[in-house]
Structure 1
Amino acid sequence: MEVTAGWTHRAFPMEDASRVGEARRHAAQLAAGMGWSELDAGRLALVITELGTNLQRHAHQGRLLIAARPQASEVEILGIDEGPGIPDIALAMRDGHSSGSTPGTGLGAVKRVADAFEIHSTMPEGTVSVARVRAAGSRRETVRPGPGSILIGAVCLPAPGETVSGDAWAAAATDADCNAVLLADGLGHGPEAAKASLAATASFAQAPAAELHATLERVHQALQTTRGGAVCVARVDAAASTLTFTGAGNISGRIVSGVFDKAFITQHGTAGIRIRKPEVTSAELPPHAVVILHSDGIETRWSAERIRPLLQRDPTLVACVLLRDHTRHRDDATVVVLRRKE
């Protein structure tokens, strides 16, 4: 059974033109580390140049988030800004279109060159986009960690000033219709918090199909040599339309559909230090629902209205909107989104 270790993004605020080059050089290092050809690395550089230049020239608080996904031989590039928004995305995607107030130039090129590209924009809130570039010959699905009918999208960012994230997540397709996922938030942030969260994902990877209460107990034992952390482990069963979950600490969760919005909470406690006997809870998944897990770097009180138009699209777009609108800007921030593949 293949386990996907969650990826962490590095943020590049597009404050001036030099940051576009910085993002491009970082992506080149990621591509080289995965043994990419010059042609594939060139496609990646073009996508970053076009998206980054648009953000730098036209957007407010624009930034690129870049992450390598070695298991898929892929680099993910997220574009996030806080306005002014694109009034006509179809027009903006046409080659040669440009505007003095809204992005547009280069989006058509990104769609052609990237292996996957989706964009969502509202006015005046802003625009989010996700582009993925894969090495030639890679046939892996881009938003799914393995065989099955569950799509997964995620954003994971270190706290301001940190180079590593104290959050970590992992996922596994336990069978064709079922995915298990773990999200951990090490106490504090920085390298010591990262040790705790990575110990949690490593423990999860040992037996991702195990009963959830057993997984949490095993993670609790594994974190006893660390500073500890908050942990949630969940399983989405597409065939049975159910979510089961357990955890300890302040990982938040929501089930959201077009007509449904329900939060689910984990028990008090800190894995690695002290937890209660794990209690596993089940909930029904309505049609077209998404399951959202996030660390406390994201505000817990957020409205589902802005993400409802995205429920049937790439789940990473949902994660981007929540990060943009509800990050606390002082801690590691992670959002993991799962939905059934329709």
Structure 2
Amino acid sequence: MEVAVITGWTHKAFPMDDASCVGEARRHAANAAADMGWGEVDAGRLALVVTELGTNLQRHAKHGRLLIAVRAQACAVEVISIDEGPGIPDIALALQDGHSSGSTPGTGLGAVRRLASEFDMHSAVPDGTVSVARVRPSAAGFAHGSAMALQIGAICLPAPYETVCGDAWAVAIHGGQTSVLVADGLGHGPDAAKASQAALGAFASAPEADVCDTVQRVHRELRTTRGAAVLALRVAMDNNTVTYSGAGNIAGRVLSGVFDKSLITQHGTAGVQIRKPQATSLELPAHALVILHSDGIATRWTVEHVRPLLQKDPTLLAAVLLRDHTRHRDDATVVVIRPRE
């Protein structure tokens, strides 16, 4: 059976405190495009997307920041815009091509939607706005992952002042099933990153294995590291079930507009001490999402808080949880999984 493993991407944050920050984000995106061998036209599209979103944040938003990630396996650069207000009262008007509240090179959010390969946004007054734009080379000719049964959105950010992330995640698609691993190395910084990357290596060596076997294998692999909290999960679309196992404080929820179930795992630290892994299964209700996040995100959020985002791009939901519930002192990862309609 063919197995496709997708190594989770990590974002770099660019606070939009002044106009120079827009240029810093644009240079980072340009370097990413060059590393992937993009042509001048596609690199220019990406530069305009970053400039438009960054300039909007710098001029009009409260606590705005751009998060940029290279999704290498999709040959894409993802640009997430997050702010804490004032919000956009009329999104339809803001998205009209050419509409802009200021003089920007591409003339507004309509240009971002036109230039990006994928674009979605959500706004609430006065909470603020989140948007996601993904840019791919025009020659790619297709949206990576469009044939996947599941849609996956994720944000993975290092702790403040760290250059590497102690969290990591990965996804494997095999047959009609999708397996996911989220790992949070103890603490943050290089040693935490070493532990979480070792967990991903153990997962990638046999991603189609039973979730309990995966947790046990990760535990053995992490014995020479400081250890990590881990959660292994499998979504089986043939019978609409979610099966999971783990140790530590990776949080999980399965929710829809009418359903909300937390995923509870054992105490312990993979690589240090855990009990024999046990698997738990539950039905995946129609239109439900699976949300996993590290303890850099507080767990006390409600379905009502994310209800308007349940049918949107799952990255937007991840962005709102990050914006409103991050602890601001640790690595933070949110992975959102939604079956395609």
One fold, TM greater than 0.5?
A: yes
Q: Is the 8 A contact 2:158 2:331 kept in 1?
A: yes
1:286-338 CA distance string (max 9 Å, x none):
11100000000000111121211221221111101100110000000000000
1:200 deviates by 0.5
Letter in 2 for 1:260: F
What TM-score do you get using the length of structure 2 for normalisation? 0.96
**In 1, Cα distance between equivalents of 2:148 and 2:97:** 37
SS at match of 1:208: coil
Partner of 1:181 in structure 2? Answer: 180
Partner of 2:157 in structure 1? Answer: 157
Q: Which moved more, 1:261-270 or 1:246-255?
A: 261-270
Instruction: Calculate the aligned-residue CA RMSD, in Å.
Output: 1.4
2:172 is aligned with 1:169: no
Counterpart selection for 1:131 from 106, 130, 133:
133
Q: Is the 8 A contact 1:72 1:138 kept in 2?
A: no
Q: Is the 8 A contact 2:11 2:157 kept in 1?
A: yes
Matches within 5 A, 1:164-243: 164-175=164-175, 177-243=176-242
Matches within 5 A, 1:1-342: 1-99=3-101, 105-139=107-141, 141-142=143-144, 144=145, 148-175=148-175, 177-342=176-341
Q: Which moved more, 1:130-139 or 1:187-196?
A: 130-139
SS at match of 2:140: coil
1:71-124 CA distance string (max 9 Å, x none):
111100000000111001110012332348xxx951010011110000100111
**In 1, Cα distance between equivalents of 2:83 and 2:237:** 33
Q: Is the 8 A contact 2:99 2:110 kept in 1?
A: no
What is the aligned length? Answer: 336
Q: Is the 8 A contact 2:101 2:108 kept in 1?
A: no
1:239 deviates by 2.5
Q: Is the 8 A contact 1:168 1:183 kept in 2?
A: yes
**In 2, Cα distance between equivalents of 1:206 and 1:223:** 14
**In 2, Cα distance between equivalents of 1:139 and 1:246:** 38
**In 2, Cα distance between equivalents of 1:68 and 1:201:** 18
What TM-score do you get using the length of structure 1 for normalisation? 0.96
Letter in 2 for 1:167: D
In structure 2, list runs of 5 or more residues that go unmatched.
none
In structure 1, list runs of 5 or more residues that go unmatched.
none
Q: Rate the CA distance shift 1:105–1:55 in 2: closer, same or farther, 3 A.
A: farther
1:140 deviates by 5.2
